[in-house]
Amino acid sequence: MNFSALIIDDDEIARSLVSENLKALGLTIFTLSNSLHIEEFLKINKVNLIVCDIVMPDRDGIETVKIIKNTHPEIVFVAMTAYSSTYLESISILGAELVFSKDDFSFEICKKIVEFLSLRHN
């Protein structure tokens, strides 16, 4: 199955790093610098996965996961942050299937994300 992912992060370097790693694993990649227009984006683009930063201006990842889980519960939501693990715990409770600290980011984490996605869609 061909998977597609939306990467949302206000940090261009982080957004690019996650995008390149997931693209290397065969995913089609879309990117946004914030989630303000995610509802419109998802009306015209189908994605299986959203990887979203938690701490962003305008609309944070906590608000974003609430929107996604209410409107598109089938989309796997992965949260990431460079801040406290308290954010990761909070967003897990709200429905993020996977969470990681940006400090721990690696190609191995991307492989685990794709493995989870594959299992979810079997």
Mean pLDDT of 45-71: 92
The token pair at 41 is 């984006």
Q: Are 8 and 16 spatial neighbours (Cβ–Cβ below 8 Å)?
A: no
- Report yes or no on whether pTM surpasses 0.75: yes
Is the Cα dihedral 11, 111, 95, 120 positive or negative? Answer: positive
- Spatial distance between the Cα atoms of 24 and 106, rounded to a whole number of angstroms: 13
Nearest CA to 102 among 119, 118, 78?
A: 78
12-24 and 107-120 are packed helices; what angle lies between their axes, rounded to 10 degrees?
A: 60
When pLDDT is cut at 50, 70 and 90, the band that residue 88 belongs to is: low
Domains of the chain (ranges plus CATH)?
4-120 (3.40.50.2300)
When pLDDT is cut at 50, 70 and 90, the band that residue 30 belongs to is: very high
Distances in Å between the alpha carbon of 121 and those of 41, 63, 72, 92, 117?
22, 25, 15, 20, 6
Residue 14: strand, helix, or coil:
helix
Q: Are 67 and 39 spatial neighbours (Cβ–Cβ below 8 Å)?
A: yes
When pLDDT is cut at 50, 70 and 90, the band that residue 98 belongs to is: confident
The token pair at 81 is 């942050």
